[in-house]
């Protein structure tokens, strides 16, 4: 990790989940799993964050929030979808209000499957994100801003899902 020029700051947002992956993500920051050994610092401010950890699926209510947090993060930035709900909608996929995984809202760099995702897998995802972050930083340094912007640009807003008619 000696190539890292600064400590990577993470921000965590829980979308529409059962809180299982949420709890495992927070466990990564405890002394037992100790993600801080990689220099990781947890922040509540997107303007200070380099890596966006998202648990849970997206729905009509949280999709704009996820997009806003992402938009407020400075370049370069990386996104890690944690748990199968964040990867694809998971067990909530068929729910009337679920739009799918996090990539329906923002570009995702690393997918960490699992239900719940294990802390070891989450830390592995964060370490992969560190490498991606460094490559993006290098792209910025060498002036490939357009390439980075097209990769990190927001996908179009999905059509708002409509509530299924209640069966009588
Ligand atoms: S992947 Fe499983 S544990 Fe994680 S939020 Fe979804 S249902 Fe809960």
At 94-136, the pLDDT tens digits run: 999 999 999 999 999 999 999 999 999 999 999 999 999 999 9
Q: What percent of the chain has pLDDT over 90?
A: 69
Phi/psi at 10 (nearest 5 deg)? Answer: -110, 155
In a mutational test of the pocket of ligand 1, which residue from 15, 18, 98, 100 has the highest number of ligand atoms less than 8 Å from its CB? 18
CA pseudo-torsion sign 85, 93, 73, 147: positive
Is it the case that residue 162 has pLDDT exceeding 70?
no
Look up the pTM and report it.
0.89
Q: What is the pLDDT of residue 144?
A: 74
Q: Is 101 in the pocket of ligand 1 (CB under 6 A)?
A: no
């Amino acid at each position: 990790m000696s190539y890292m020029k600064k400590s990577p700051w993470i921000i965590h947002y829980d979308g529409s989940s059962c809180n299982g992956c949420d709890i495992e993500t927070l466990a990564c920051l405890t002394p037992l799993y100790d993600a801080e050994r990689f220099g990781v610092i947890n922040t509540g401010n997107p303007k200070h964050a380099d890596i966006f950890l998202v648990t849970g699926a997206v729905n009509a209510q949280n999709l704009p929030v996820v997009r806003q947090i992402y938009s407020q993060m400075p370049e370069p930035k990386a996104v890690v979808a944690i748990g199968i709900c964040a990867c694809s909608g998971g067990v909530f996929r068929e729910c009337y209000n679920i739009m799918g995984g996090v990539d329906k809202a923002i570009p995702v760099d690393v997918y960490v499957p699992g239900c719940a995702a294990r802390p070891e897998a989450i830390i592995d995802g964060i370490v992969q994100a560190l490498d991606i972050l460094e490559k993006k930083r290098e792209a910025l340094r060498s002036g490939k801003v357009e390439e980075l912007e097209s990769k990190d640009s927001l996908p179009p807003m999905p059509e708002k899902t409509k509530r299924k008619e209640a069966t009588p």
